[in-house]
């Protein structure tokens, strides 16, 4: 599918994957516009890290958001949020890198490199053992809502250790 943003190396396919929408023109113009801004923020993050980042969830239609247990007012519905994972690393390397990525996005939001917005860690499975492990950062959510938001519980905060 077409590149969404000229310099971002991000495609419409990546942000619409699993969204319930197959083509950007099915979306209202304001959501398409939000996705282009989001892609720019993602480009900045990717360039700052140099890490191989995979988008696991971008835009979500209301039906998909409900099916995956997303918050009713989720920024994903507005095309302002990405859930991301790191790829191509061993589990041992991955955790420190996920924490580094969290700190990098946190700083980029604070110093204006990207729009201020939400940032949170989510626990999941250890990719090497397949075990459900709440000590494991599975993915990061970040969004471009325009103001700072954090919802890491004490448990999640521990993942950032
Ligand atoms: Zn999310």
Split the chain (161 residues) into runs of 10 and give each run's mean pLDDT.
55 85 91 93 89 90 92 95 89 89 96 96 84 83 96 85 80
Domain boundaries, the chain: 3-159
CB neighbours (10 Å) of residue 155? 11
Residues with CB under 5 A from ligand 1 (ion): 81, 83, 141
pTM: 0.89
Cα(1) to ligand 1 centroid in Å equals: 23
Percent of the chain with pLDDT over 70: 94
CA distance 71 to 55: 19
Domain 3-159 coded CATH 3.30.1380.10: yes
Cα(83) to ligand 1 centroid in Å equals: 5
- Cβ-contact 23, 14 below 8 angstroms: no
């Amino acid at each position: 599918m077409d590149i969404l943003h000229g310099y971002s190396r991000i495609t419409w396919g990546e942000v619409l994957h699993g969204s319930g929408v197959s083509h950007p023109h099915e979306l209202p113009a304001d959501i398409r516009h939000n996705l282009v801004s989001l892609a720019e923020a993602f480009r900045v993050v990717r360039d700052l890290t140099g890490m191989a980042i995979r988008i696991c969830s971008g835009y979500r239609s209301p039906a998909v958001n409900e099916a995956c247990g997303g918050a009713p007012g989720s920024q994903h519905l507005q095309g302002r949020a990405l859930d991301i994972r790191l790829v191509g690393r061993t589990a041992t390397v991955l955790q420190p890198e996920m924490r580094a990525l969290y700190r990098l996005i946190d700083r980029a939001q604070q110093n204006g490199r990207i729009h201020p917005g939400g940032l949170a860690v989510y626990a999941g499975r250890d990719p090497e053992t397949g075990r459900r492990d709440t000590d494991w950062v599975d993915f990061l959510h970040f969004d471009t809502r325009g103001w700072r938001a954090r919802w890491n519980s004490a448990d999640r905060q521990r993942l950032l250790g």
